[in-house]
Structures are given as C-alpha cells and as structure tokens.
C-alpha cells in the first residue's frame, strides 16, 4: 500500500512538472500591452511620400520543431518554421524588414533541413540596395544576413537598429556581427511608436527579446500588415492564446513570458477589432501562403 501511494505521488509530481513546463498557457491576469492603432495609423501618414506599392518576401531556410516547442500544450508532431526576409517596394526605392541568415549561421542539419542559396543571394543583393533596413529583433535568423553582409560598412548608414537591440553584445555576436562594426553607430531611440518611412511604423514590443519590435505597414492601396517578428512564431499562438512553453522560454530562449503573453492577448483581440490588419507571424508558412493568395504579400524580391 505504501509503495502504491509513493508511486502515485511520484507520477503526480512528474505530471505536475510536465504540465507546468510544457502545457500551462494561462496568461498572467494583470499583464497588459497597449496597441494604439489610431495613433499608429496617424504616424503612417506622418512622413511625406507615396506608401509602398508591394510587400514581398524571400523564404531562405526553415527549422523543423515539434509543435510542443512552438506552443504550450502543442503536440510532438513536427512543424516547419520557415525563415523569411521582407522587402517593401516603393516607386524608386525599397525598404527591408529582417535579413534571414546565411548558410554559416543556419548550419543545415536535421533541425534545419532546408537552405535556399539562390534566395539568400537575392536577400544579400536586396540588403545592398535598400534605402532603409529595420530588424524585428536581435536573433541570428533575423539579424544574421545583415550582420554578416560583405558590404556591412557601406550599408550601415541605411540601417535603423535600436538602442535596445544593440545593447546585448552577446546576441549581436551570436548573429555574426563583427565586434567593432557598431563602434561609430548612432542607434535609433524611441519609446512606443515611431515612423521610419511613408506607411511604415515601428512598434516597440519587448519580451521575446529586449529589442523586439513589430513593424506596421500600410500599403499604397491602404491594406495593412503587421510584421510581428517573433512575438508569435505562428498564428496558432495568437488564435489559441498559447505562448511558447516554459521549457522553451525559461530554459532555451530566456524570454519575458509575461510581456509576450500580454502582447498575444492584444493581438488576439485585434483580430476582432481590426480584421483588416493582416498579422504576419515570424515563422508561419501557412499564414504567409494565405497572405500570398490574398495578394497582400508577394513571393520573391524584385531584382
């Protein structure tokens, strides 16, 4: 009898630990994240000039993760985690959002089974000629292509990295940025929102990393996109209101889950209150495909 009770207690303990680290997705009751869409739309009109005619993307690589790593309570079947860079096409200029990463950072293996050298070459060329480059956050799969670019010194005057993004030397080094690359660099500082180009507004969203930001884009035809960076890897995080599990946020990526959970709640609500605002998660092939079919995103950069 004693053995049976002891065994049951051990099972309960294991179950409890598993639930806490892999399943629990309850959002913190008192965390909140404000997203003032009216103010953001005003800022999108603040800079003179035409808004972008198109938003394009390149898919450079993909991780393969179990869904249980993407979302608390997810299954252990694997899902693709594609890696993209985005290009906003204006009349006569382009703006880049994120830069993916090169083959040396991707290190193709069983968790990175796909790397498209031709797509990456197009990203490199697009970075080289962009009038402006912004990065959603300081992780290698977003910053790496810029950090390791052969013409980094020439490109840097067109790059708006924020003060919080460049504060973490360890993250910059992991993304392949040469140690002295930013020694004379004046980073961007802003509090909540800032307009950086006609139709383009940066929205601070610290949590996944300290320097995480979302990028609001209003196209010339008034359609609206919100590039989420890795606030949500996939739409399932927003639709089901499920953050990444604690074993990922606490043990692997060191994320502020309280902040991210609040951001997910706000994005979840935005789907009802602003259905025209298309959310673009960091690594969601199905979401990107749907936006492509809707004609809001277009596959492949312009040369």
102 binds Zn ion (CB under 5 A): no
CB of 80 to Zn ion, least distance (A): 13
230 binds Zn ion (CB under 5 A): yes
Closer to Zn ion at the Cβ: 199 or 282? Answer: 282
Closer to Zn ion at the Cβ: 105 or 195? Answer: 105
Give, rounded to a whole angstrom, the gap between the first and last alpha carbons of the chain: 74
CB of 142 to Zn ion, least distance (A): 6
Closer to Zn ion at the Cβ: 141 or 224? Answer: 141
Closer to Zn ion at the Cβ: 52 or 282? Answer: 282
138 binds Zn ion (CB under 5 A): no
Q: Locate tokens 């052969």: which residue?
A: 150
Which of these segments, 133-141, 185-193, 243-251, 289-297, binds Zn ion (CB under 5 A)? Answer: 133-141
- Give CA–CA dist 67/80, Å, rounded: 9
| SS3 label, residue 153 | helix
CB of 186 to Zn ion, least distance (A): 26
Which of these segments, 168-176, 229-237, 252-260, 270-278, binds Zn ion (CB under 5 A)? Answer: 229-237
Among 141, 243, 255, 284, indicate the residue that binds Zn ion (CB under 5 A): 141
- Give CA–CA dist 29/258, Å, rounded: 10
- Give CA–CA dist 204/190, Å, rounded: 8
* CA-based nearest residue to 199, from 104, 99, 103, 93: 93
Kindly calculate the radius of gyration of the chain based on its CA atoms and give it in whole angstroms: 20
CB of 225 to Zn ion, least distance (A): 17
Please check whether residue 113 is in contact with residue 62, taking contact to mean a CB–CB distance below 8 angstroms.
yes
Phi, psi of 66 (to 5 degrees): -70, 145
CB of 136 to Zn ion, least distance (A): 8
Which of these segments, 143-151, 169-177, 217-225, 278-286, binds Zn ion (CB under 5 A)? Answer: 278-286
Label residues 80-97 b or e (16+ Cβ within 10 Å = b). Answer: bbbbbbbbbbbeeebbbb
Query: Which residues here bind Zn ion, judged by CB under 5 A?
Result: 141, 230, 282
């Amino acid at each position: 009898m004693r053995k049976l009770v002891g065994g049951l207690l051990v099972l309960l303990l294991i179950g409890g630990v598993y639930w806490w680290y892999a399943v629990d997705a309850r959002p913190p009751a008192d965390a909140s994240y404000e997203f003032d869409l009216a103010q953001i739309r005003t800022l999108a009109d603040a800079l003179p000039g035409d808004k972008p005619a198109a938003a394009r993307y390149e898919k450079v690589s993909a991780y393969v993760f179990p869904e249980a790593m993407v979302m608390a309570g997810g299954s252990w079947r694997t899902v693709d985690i594609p890696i993209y860079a985005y290009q906003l096409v204006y009349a006569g200029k382009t703006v880049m959002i994120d830069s993916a990463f090169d083959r040396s950072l991707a290190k193709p293996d069983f968790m990175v089974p796909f790397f498209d050298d031709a797509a990456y070459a197009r990203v490199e060329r697009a970075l080289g000629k962009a009038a402006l480059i912004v990065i959603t956050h300081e992780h290698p799969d977003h910053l790496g292509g810029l950090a390791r670019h052969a013409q980094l010194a020439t490109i840097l005057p067109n790059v708006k990295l924020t003060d919080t993004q460049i504060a973490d030397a360890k993250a910059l080094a992991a993304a392949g940025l040469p140690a002295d690359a930013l020694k004379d660099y004046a980073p961007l500082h802003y509090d909540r929102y800032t307009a950086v180009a006609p139709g383009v507004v940066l929205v601070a969203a610290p949590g996944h990393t300290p320097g995480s930001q979302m990028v609001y884009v209003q196209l010339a035809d008034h359609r609206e996109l919100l590039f989420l960076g890795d606030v949500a890897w996939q739409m399932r995080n927003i639709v089901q209101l499920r953050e990444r599990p604690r074993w990922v946020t606490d043990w692997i990526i060191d994320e502020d889950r309280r902040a991210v959970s609040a951001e997910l709640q706000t994005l979840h609500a935005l789907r009802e209150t602003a259905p025209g605002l298309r959310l673009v998660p960091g690594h969601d092939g199905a979401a990107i495909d749907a936006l492509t079919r809707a004609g809001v995103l277009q596959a492949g950069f312009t040369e």
